[in-house]
Structure 1
Amino acid sequence: MDLPFAPSDGPVGPDELAEIARCIAEHPRLWEDDLDHDRRKRTYNEVFTSEHLGVWVICWNADDHDTGYHDHGSSCGAVHVARGVIRHEHLRLGARPVGGPVWAGEGFCFDGTVIHRMRREPRAELTVTIHAYSPPLVETGQYRQDDRDELLHRVPTAAEEQLRPQGFQGDPTGLPPSRPDPASSAMS
């Protein structure tokens, strides 16, 4: 596979992962054939893997596609939105989550300690995201509040398993996104 970046021969940090995810997103020939448009589920495929790097493409086909709160084990990572819009949120204890929409052409990165959630924005068109992790994902942790003791629990999950909300996750932040009209903001 001809990659639009030189694969690292060592661990890759969040900022470099963000650049790799952006670079892969800008070369759809590397991932378009892996898309599955089954509206019943969020689909994902591995685009590239090496000892130090794993890159995935995820296709968010419906409004209810949601990862729930999760971490990435010992991996840091980055996400770049190739098409559509996702909502990215960080868990805050005792307060509403903080987050917002991430539009096509935008992205974010994180270290291995982050607990976050992603979902497709309601009424957004087909959304495709590119995810880069270092080291490659082995395990994620999903978070749920136990109904009996109301404590937050981490549920270890193999990297190949699809993430989905585990029990009540709270209401996603914000309303459906709307981009500011450049003409109206230029007038103010």
Structure 2
Amino acid sequence: MPAPSGEPAAAPASSVAPTLAELMDYVRGAARDEALIASLPLDPEERTWIRLDGPGGSEAWLIGWPPGTGTGWHDHADSFGAFTTAAGALTEHSLAVRLPTDGWRTLELKDGVDRTRELATGQGRAFGQNHVHEVLNESGTAHAVSVHAYYPPLPRIRRFSRTGPVLRLEQTERPEDWQ
């Protein structure tokens, strides 16, 4: 897919990983590309997406969020990333805690680890590895659209359930599960 209009073309994949700042610049530029945003088919009930070529060999996605949809609790394992809301508004709930990378199923969270961010059109954030969050379109009437980029390309996503302070690892997905 071509780079967003008005933005420089992404550099070919190289051995140099993009920085968080480069991922953030990319998602902000893509979110301003009106033709790119308009190219995403929106479904009234299910999230939709288009895979994009991110900078420096990163994985990027344009995602449509119908009213009331969300991701559920998850992380991107060994990948770091960034996302920006291109249309509408999204809410991100995250945990300010470093989870063990492997070998656990249930974790009791301490008080004070919950964070919430409201991300209106044009707002975004970057995050590090093992960042646990859920992203939601809490609108009852309006779609939201966002652009996401991850590096390295997602090797896995861990999905969690949460009941009060208890976080439970439910499953680990690999790229072949969502292609």
Q: Give TM-score scaled by structure 1 length.
A: 0.73
In structure 1, the residue matched to 2:106 is: none
1:94 aligned onto 2:94: no
Higher strand share: 2
Equivalence map 1:1-40=2 (5 Å): 1-3=1-3, 4-8=7-11, 9=14, 10-33=16-39, 35-40=40-45
RMSD (Å) for aligned C-alpha atoms: 2.4
1:84 aligned onto 2:101: no
Gaps of 5+ in 1: 163-188
Of all paired residues, the percent bearing the same amino acid is: 25
| Runs of 4+ displaced beyond 6 Å | none
Please report how far the alpha carbon of residue 80 of structure 1 lies from its aligned counterpart in structure 2 after TM superposition. 0.6
Q: Which has the larger radius of gyration?
A: 1
SS at 1:138 equivalent? coil
In structure 1, the residue matched to 2:73 is: 69
C-alpha distance in 1 between matches for 2:18 and 2:142:
32
In structure 1, the residue matched to 2:102 is: none
Equivalence map 1:129-168=2 (5 Å): 129-145=146-162, 152-159=168-175, 161=177
SS at 1:40 equivalent? coil
C-alpha distance in 1 between matches for 2:140 and 2:177:
26
1:25–1:61 Cα change, 3 Å: same
In structure 1, the residue matched to 2:130 is: 113
Please report how far the alpha carbon of residue 123 of structure 1 lies from its aligned counterpart in structure 2 after TM superposition. 2.9
The answer as to whether partners of 1:142 and 1:156 remain within 8 angstroms in 2 is yes
Please report how far the alpha carbon of residue 110 of structure 1 lies from its aligned counterpart in structure 2 after TM superposition. 0.5
The answer as to whether partners of 2:158 and 2:169 remain within 8 angstroms in 1 is no
Give the total of aligned pairs.
157
Please report how far the alpha carbon of residue 124 of structure 1 lies from its aligned counterpart in structure 2 after TM superposition. 5.6
Please report how far the alpha carbon of residue 43 of structure 1 lies from its aligned counterpart in structure 2 after TM superposition. 1.2
Please report how far the alpha carbon of residue 129 of structure 1 lies from its aligned counterpart in structure 2 after TM superposition. 0.2
The answer as to whether partners of 1:84 and 1:124 remain within 8 angstroms in 2 is no
Residue identity matched to 1:116: H
String of CA shifts for 1:145-177, please: whole Å, max 9, x gaps: 59xxx6622521134656xxxxxxxxxxxxxxx
SS at 1:15 equivalent? helix
Gaps of 5+ in 2: 97-108
C-alpha distance in 2 between matches for 1:87 and 1:7:
28
The answer as to whether partners of 1:80 and 1:130 remain within 8 angstroms in 2 is yes
String of CA shifts for 1:72-131, please: whole Å, max 9, x gaps: 121110001000000011135233621121000100000112111100023362100000
The answer as to whether partners of 1:13 and 1:76 remain within 8 angstroms in 2 is no
